[in-house]
């Protein structure tokens, strides 16, 4: 039997309390069983005998009980699937909510709502989405106000304490800037109980960048105190730690804005490394070559180029891009170009840890590359991102040349590739490379290149004609892949 996915997609808006829906007198809903403190993420209507495989969790499930035969098993399966509440419509199937269903919902702790005959299920769904839209609007207004307040604080003469003070006020909690060893640099807001403060210090050590493989953020609870820790960009182990008595929609976004600001504000205090990078950027803008500024960025590298896009297809703003860079451990972020405002590019220094997958993002990562070869690494990161999107994987890393291919001198391999691929114009070569990397899948290649699958077929057919080869021959494919990897 199929089961729901382990990780459900994010809802389109913040959850709404069940009490808000019950407060709508025009709906005539009445809670007749189960608790009243549920939160709703979705609305789903189903008359299946077992809707478990089609639930994501957090739903208000609406049903008239057309196929209801075993109320106890039905409710048990809904609870197992994570449904938030059940709305049961009386008439035309049942004149009243079955008593066995009421008892089962009380037994399993599932809120049960009686839906009167004059209230269509679509009216309930519309009311839920409207409440969610209102909640999203309130959240956006709150985040906007917090962003303005934090930006104003960052412009003060004492920006770091001012940002922490404003963050503590916005979240109604404690905001602390800690070192990897738990030493307090700055703090604002009411101090939590000693046990919670100690737990917050331990959580900060989890994300401190001094530990290999540390996550970018972590959360925990201690009693009724919510704890969160965020690593700041710069690689010196500074951590923003938060302790609040409640967690509201938008808190994580507000904290992310503060992380970006504090990463930028703390950068000058994180060693000569940041100053050297700033000097390198200035010299490049004034006309210096990469070779001339290489000593400032690290004599031999390597550097890693990352291309990233939001998984939902939206174009990220500068703050969102900066937050991604900070979580990866780099302030070298390009939030988008005029020809591609959806792709964020991040340059990671050799001291940064390996890029992990990031929820909400799709990443393409180049192999570690010395400074003079960053242009080629940029292309490879873009190709890796296209491959990741086509295969629906959160991260694709471009592998360095190894094995038998590494035995051939690069200049000879490049010369052979140029000769072999000379008949192909860039669009054809890019299509062929993508098609081969995706094992000849027409549909995935179309997704990666944002073209129709028939266009892919036409281009691949044209490649076969120009090269005068049989692309169904594995030997031919292998040689072309070798050449395309080294052009």
Distance CA 411, CA 414 (A): 5
How far is Cα 329 from Cα 358, in angstroms, rounded to an integer?
A: 13
For 331-357, b where at least 16 C-beta lie within 10 A, e where not — what string?
A: bbbebbeeeeeebbbbbbbeebeebee
CB neighbourhood size of 91 (10 A): 12
Residues 348 and 446 in one domain: no
Q: Within this chain, do residues 421 and 378 fall inside the same structural domain, yes or no?
A: no
What was the pLDDT predicted at 100?
94
Cα 452 from Cα 446, distance rounded (Å): 6
pTM equals 0.46
Instruction: Give the structural domain span for 369.
Output: 301-398
Residue 313 sits in the same domain as residue 375? yes
Overall domain count for the chain: 4
**C-alpha–C-alpha distance, residues 227 and 256, integer Å:** 15
**Is 279 within a domain?**
no
**pLDDT score of 272:** 41
Question: DSSP letters of 110-132?
Answer: --EEEEPTTS-HHHHHHHHHHHH
In 3D, which of 225, 262, 255 has the Cα closest to residue 243? Answer: 225
Domain end (from 375, 398, 421): 398
Do 451 and 479 belong together in one domain?
yes
Please list, in sequence order, all residues whose beta carbon lies within 8 angstroms of the beta carbon of residue 25, skipping any fewer than 6 positions away. none
Which of 398, 433, 448 delimits the end of a domain?
A: 398
Residue 237 lies in a domain: yes
Q: Which residue numbers in the chain have pLDDT < 70?
A: 1-13, 156-158, 209-214, 233-237, 266-301, 317-320, 322-323, 326-327, 331, 337-340, 350-354, 399-413, 417, 485-487
Q: How far is CA 80 from CA 50, 51, 55, 72, 152, in A?
A: 11, 11, 10, 12, 47
CATH number at residue 111: 3.40.1390.20
Question: Is there a domain that residue 280 lies in?
Answer: no
The CA distance from 335 to 317, in Å, is 7
Residue 384 lies in a domain: yes
Does residue 172 sit in the same domain as residue 193?
yes
Q: Is residue 6 part of a domain?
A: no
Residue 264 CA to residue 279 CA, distance in Å, equals 16
Pair (176, 226) in one structural domain: yes
Both 336 and 415 in one domain: the answer is: no
In a domain, residue 185? The reply is yes
Residue 145 lies in a domain: no
**335 and 436 assigned to the same domain:** no
Task: Check residue 486 and give its pLDDT.
Answer: 65
**Tell me, what's the pLDDT at 271?**
42
Q: Are 361 and 410 found together in one domain?
A: no
Judge if 53 and 67 occupy the same domain: yes
Q: What is the pLDDT of residues 31-75, one digit of tens each?
A: 999 998 898 988 999 999 999 988 888 899 999 999 999 999 999
**Same-domain pairing of 325 and 229:** no
The 10s digit of each residue's pLDDT in 439-453 is 888 888 888 778 898
Whether 148 is in a domain gets the answer no
Q: What is the per-residue pLDDT for 233? A: 66
Instruction: Map residue 388 onto helix, strand or coil.
Output: helix
Query: Do 58 and 40 lie in a common domain?
Result: yes
- Helix/strand/coil for 310: strand
Domain boundary among 353, 380, 398: 398
Q: How many CA atoms lie within 13 A of 267 on its CB side?
A: 19
pLDDT score of 7: 44
């Amino acid at each position: 039997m199929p089961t729901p996915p382990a990780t459900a997609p994010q809802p389109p808006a913040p959850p709404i309390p069940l009490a808000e829906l019950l407060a709508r007198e025009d709906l005539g809903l009445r809670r007749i069983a189960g608790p009243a403190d549920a939160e709703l993420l979705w609305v789903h209507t189903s008359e299946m005998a077992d809707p478990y495989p089609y639930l994501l969790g957090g739903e208000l499930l609406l049903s008239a009980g057309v196929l209801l035969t075993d109320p106890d098993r039905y409710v048990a399966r809904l609870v197992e699937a994570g449904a938030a509440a059940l709305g049961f419509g009386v008439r035309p199937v049942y004149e009243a909510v079955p008593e066995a269903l009421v008892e089962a919902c009380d037994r399993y702790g599932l809120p049960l709502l009686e839906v009167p005959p004059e209230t269509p299920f679509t009216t309930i769904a519309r009311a839920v989405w409207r409440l969610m839209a209102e909640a999203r609007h309130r959240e956006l207004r709150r985040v906007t106000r917090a962003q303005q307040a934090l930006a104003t604080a960052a412009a003060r003469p004492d920006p770091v304490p001012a940002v922490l003070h404003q963050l503590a006020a916005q979240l109604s909690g404690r905001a602390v800037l800690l070192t990897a060893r738990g030493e307090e640099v700055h703090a604002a807001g009411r101090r939590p109980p000693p046990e919670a403060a100690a737990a917050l210090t331990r959580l900060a050590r989890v994300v401190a960048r001094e530990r290999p493989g540390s996550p970018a953020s972590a959360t925990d609870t201690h009693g009724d105190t919510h704890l969160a820790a965020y690593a700041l960009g710069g690689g010196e182990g500074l951590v923003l730690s938060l302790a609040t008595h409640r967690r509201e929609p938008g808190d994580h976004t507000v904290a992310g804005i503060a992380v970006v600001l504090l990463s930028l504000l703390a950068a000058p205090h994180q060693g000569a490394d940041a100053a050297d990078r700033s000097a390198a950027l200035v010299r490049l803008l004034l006309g210096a070559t990469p070779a001339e500024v290489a000593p400032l960025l690290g004599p031999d590298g390597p550097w890693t180029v990352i291309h990233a896009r939001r998984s939902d297809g939206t174009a990220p703003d500068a703050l969102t891009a900066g937050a991604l860079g900070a979580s990866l451990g780099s302030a070298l972020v390009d939030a988008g170009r005029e020809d591609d405002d959806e792709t964020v590019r991040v340059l990671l220094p050799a001291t940064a840890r390996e890029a992990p997958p990031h929820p909400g993002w799709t990443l393409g990562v180049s192999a570690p590359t010395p400074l003079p070869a960053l242009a080629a690494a940029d292309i490879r990161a873009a190709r890796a991102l296209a491959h990741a999107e086509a295969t629906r994987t959160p991260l694709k890393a471009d592998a360095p040349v190894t094995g038998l291919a590494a035995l051939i001198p690069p200049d000879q391999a490049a010369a052979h590739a140029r000769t072999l691929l000379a008949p192909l114009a860039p669009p054809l070569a890019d299509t062929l490379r993508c098609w081969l990397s995706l094992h000849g899948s027409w549909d995935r290649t179309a997704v990666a290149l944002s073209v129709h699958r028939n266009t892919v077929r036409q281009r691949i057919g044209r490649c076969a004609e120009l090269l005068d080869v049989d692309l169904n021959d594995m030997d031919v494919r292998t040689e072309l892949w070798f050449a395309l990897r080294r052009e």
